[in-house]
Amino acid sequence: MKNTAIIGIIVLGLLQSSCSEDFLNQTDPTKVGVDVFYKNEAQVKQALNGVYSQVQALTNTSYLFGEFQTDNTTVDLNPSDRGGAGGWEAFEFSTVNSGNGEIASVWNNYYAALYNNNLTLEKLATATIADAPKKEVEGQLKFLRAYLYFNLVQYFGDVIIVTSTLATPDPAFDLVRSPQAAVWAQIEKDLKEAADALPATYTSASDKGRATKGAALSLLGKTYLVTKKYAEAITTLKQVTALGYALNANYADNFDPSPSKKNGVESIFEIQYQGDNDLGEWSTFEYVFAPRVSKGAVTGYASGANGGRNVPTNDIMAAYEKGDLRKDISLKPSFTLDGKVYPVPYVSKYNYPHTIVGRTNTNWPILRYADVLLMLAESINEQSGPTAEALGYLNQIRKRAGLADLEGLDKTTFKTAVLNERRLELAFENHRWFDLKRTKTPAEWAAFMNAHGAMERAKPTVDRGNVPFNSTDYVYTENEYYLPIPAPQILINTKLTQNPGY
pLDDT bin (cut points 50, 70, 90) of residue 5 is very low
Q: What is the pLDDT of residues 216-257, one digit of tens each?
A: 999 999 999 999 999 999 999 999 999 999 999 999 999 999
pLDDT, mean of residues 358-366? 97
pLDDT attached to residue 33: 58
Q: What is the pLDDT of residues 36-92, one digit of tens each?
A: 789 899 999 999 999 999 999 999 999 999 999 999 999 999 998 888 888 999 999
State the Cα–Cα distance between residues 46 and 193, nearest whole angstrom: 22
User: Is residue 333 pLDDT above 90, yes or no?
Assistant: yes
pLDDT attached to residue 15: 31
Question: DSSP 3-state helix, strand, coil percentages of the chain (rounded to 5)?
Answer: 45, 5, 45
State the Cα–Cα distance between residues 229 and 231, nearest whole angstrom: 6
pLDDT attached to residue 34: 62
Q: What percent of the chain shows pLDDT beyond 90?
A: 87
- What lies within 8 Å, CB to CB, of 400 at 6+ separation is 247, 248, 249, 251, 325, 370
Minimum mean pLDDT range among 3-12, 165-174, 243-252, 437-446 = 3-12
Q: Tell me if 293 is assigned to some domain.
A: yes
Polymer length of the chain: 502
pLDDT bin (cut points 50, 70, 90) of residue 322 is very high
State the Cα–Cα distance between residues 316 and 329, nearest whole angstrom: 14
Taking each continuous run of H as one helix and of E as one strand, the counts in the chain are 18, 8
Number of domains in the chain: 1
Q: What percent of the chain shows pLDDT beyond 70?
A: 93
Q: Tell me if 425 is assigned to some domain.
A: no
User: Is residue 19 pLDDT above 60, yes or no?
Assistant: no
- Give buried/exposed letters for 389-410 (b at 16+ CB in 10 A, else e): ebbebbbbbbebbebeebeebe
Q: What is the pLDDT of residues 451-464, one digit of tens each?
A: 999 999 999 999 99
Phi and psi at residue 275, to the nearest 5°: -105, -160
Residue 159 C-beta-side C-alpha neighbours within 13 Å: 30
pLDDT attached to residue 213: 98
User: Is residue 334 pLDDT above 50, yes or no?
Assistant: yes
User: Is residue 298 pLDDT above 60, yes or no?
Assistant: yes
- What lies within 8 Å, CB to CB, of 401 at 6+ separation is 251, 324, 325, 326, 424, 425
Q: What is the pLDDT of residues 103-154, one digit of tens each?
A: 999 999 999 999 999 999 999 999 999 999 999 999 999 999 999 999 999 9
283: which strand partners? 360
- Domain range spanning residue 358? 285-362
State the Cα–Cα distance between residues 437 and 223, nearest whole angstrom: 14
Q: Which of 263, 147, 271 is nearest to 208 (CA)?
A: 263
State the Cα–Cα distance between residues 259 and 275, nearest whole angstrom: 12
> Residue 65 gets which letter from DSSP?
I
Does the pTM of the predicted model rise above 0.85? yes
With both helix axes pointing from N to C terminus, report the angle between 432-439 and 442-458 in degrees, rounded to the nearest 10: 130
- What lies within 8 Å, CB to CB, of 415 at 6+ separation is 378, 381, 382, 439
Q: Tell me if 142 is assigned to some domain.
A: no
Helices (H), 87-208: 89-93, 101-124, 131-156, 180-197
Q: Tell me if 315 is assigned to some domain.
A: yes
Helices (H), 227-355: 230-240, 285-289, 296-299, 314-319, 326-330
Q: Tell me if 346 is assigned to some domain.
A: yes
Q: Tell me if 84 is assigned to some domain.
A: no
pLDDT, mean of residues 388-402? 98
pLDDT bin (cut points 50, 70, 90) of residue 169 is confident
Minimum mean pLDDT range among 31-35, 315-319, 368-372 = 31-35
State the Cα–Cα distance between residues 113 and 57, nearest whole angstrom: 10
State the Cα–Cα distance between residues 246 and 59, nearest whole angstrom: 25
Q: Tell me if 311 is assigned to some domain.
A: yes
- Give buried/exposed letters for 437-470 (b at 16+ CB in 10 A, else e): bbbbeeeebbebbeebbebbeeebbbeeeeeeee
Is the separation of the CB atoms in 352 and 453 below 8 Å? no
Q: Tell me if 316 is assigned to some domain.
A: yes
Q: Which of 339, 340, 366, 133 is nearest to 254 (CA)?
A: 366
What is the largest distance, in Å, between two alpha-carbon atoms of the chain? 67
Amino acid (one-letter) located at 161: I
Residue 317 C-beta-side C-alpha neighbours within 13 Å: 19
User: Is residue 17 pLDDT above 70, yes or no?
Assistant: no
